[in-house]
Structure 1
């Protein structure tokens, strides 16, 4: 398998106090199935869409209980070097490079605006197996921050992203690119976000019907935060699961409107 370019989103996982509840919720909303829990690695449990690995869920370690949150991992050929760049760019290394058996090496970092993210140097676990177009698969992510200038300096500084600004007076939105390919979005959090909501990375999962996914999520105790809304990228909605983890669903086949104009940021 070819190595992913540095900075490519390659995996997502989340801690859930009620692991069985999370499996039941995402199994219903996204159609996921789950593998056997790995007791050697804290009951880490992989999720599958169409038989292909798309995410993982895990119970919290003692003392780490709290609101659940999805963590996005960005690919790195050298976790130690990336940890050093995180520090050099003003970020914080929350967990030093840790080898996870022969699966790979992970790092947890935080950007200067408070956004927590993971770094993954692949071993035998290369990351997502399902393509973004597959139902239930990860397909996009956006950095939500109240201090966009900090994130805009940090993430390109660590991962070498090119940056483009969306020409839209109603929102401050940028795209971090790897070559010609978009890697991540960056959205400035507005006053609509309660002050207690920290900066975070919002992950998107592909669904065949956005409204159906929203109906299933809310019926199962999830909360609708925004949408459903038609966009040039697809029909999407922002949700929180019953344990507080934010995520979005998008039907990428249902598009409306013209693609926004983007300009390069020097």
Structure 2
């Protein structure tokens, strides 16, 4: 059941939102987990992260890469219904408005918007079922620093890339005159999202001259940059995870809780630059 905490609880976050320099761009990735300590141990071994407590309380941890906040882990009863998964979050100036827009366009609100210091958050699903988050307020670190750390790249795999782009564009103000709005490029078989000239996300659904594939289960894929793909794969196996696919430059892994993620060579990030 969706939980809605009123604006009276978020005045400080709303004020901070005006300082956020991007609108509708990916600004964070977070893992919902059943076991905070076990997840920290696994991702430290596989991705080399360190951890610090989060302002939001004991059910959260912030991952650090070279002292830069890059990702989070959350263990909350309210999030259990969403399943264990990595989820991308997009910066918005008003979480209530963005959630309402998602519902108007056939999406659903699974959790929130609710207060989560230092901001407000909601977990939504688009009209094809892919889960994503929205974040209103002060970011966990400067957006520019987060992007430079290149902790993750996100790709939406869906049945109809152009329909999905229309949905997200309406919810997140893509290609609008709002300051910091993202640019959208329609290419042959995908949609590319740029912020300040940087490719920050892609939406893919197959070749443009083919019908949408009904077998595709829409989802956001979170990919992490690493320097040693085979080393990450072996570390995942040693620490209770599994390798679903593995190539020379990329591997799809699963953590002990069942969350999937991808690691790719630091020189092979899709759409880098």
1:52-103 Cα offsets, whole Å, 9 max, x none, are 21111122417826741011110011222222221232222223322224x0
CA RMSD in angstroms, aligned pairs only:
3.3
Structure 1 position 50, deviation (Å):
1.3
Contact 2:52 2:63 in 1 (8 A): yes
Is 1:216 paired with 2:232? no
SS at 2:34 equivalent: coil
Q: In the alignment, what sits opposite 1:123?
A: 138
Mark the CA change 1:188 to 1:225 in structure 2 (over 3 Å): closer, same or farther.
farther
Unmatched tracts of structure 1, length 5 or more = 230-234, 260-266
1:104-149 Cα offsets, whole Å, 9 max, x none, are 1112211000011111012364566854454xx5231011223445
SS at 1:82 equivalent: helix
Structure with the bigger percentage of helix: 2
Q: In the alignment, what sits opposite 1:81?
A: 97
Alignment of 1:158-173 (within 5 A): 158-159=171-172, 160-161=174-175, 162-167=183-188, 172-173=189-190
- Normalising by structure 1, we get a TM-score of 0.76
Alignment of 1:117-196 (within 5 A): 117-123=132-138, 125-126=140-141, 130-134=145-149, 137-159=150-172, 160-161=174-175, 162-167=183-188, 172-178=189-195, 180-188=197-205
Higher relative CO (CA 8 A, sep ≥ 6), structure 1 or 2?
2
1:6-60 Cα offsets, whole Å, 9 max, x none, are 111111111211222211110011101111366x635211111112211111224
SS at 1:4 equivalent: coil
Q: In the alignment, what sits opposite 1:263?
A: none
Q: How many residue pairs get matched?
A: 242
Contact 1:217 1:223 in 2 (8 A): yes
Q: In the alignment, what sits opposite 2:20?
A: 3
Structure 1 position 187, deviation (Å):
2.4
1:157-216 Cα offsets, whole Å, 9 max, x none, are 22214443444xxxx4332334633231112389xx9x6x84221111121222222222
SS at 1:44 equivalent: strand
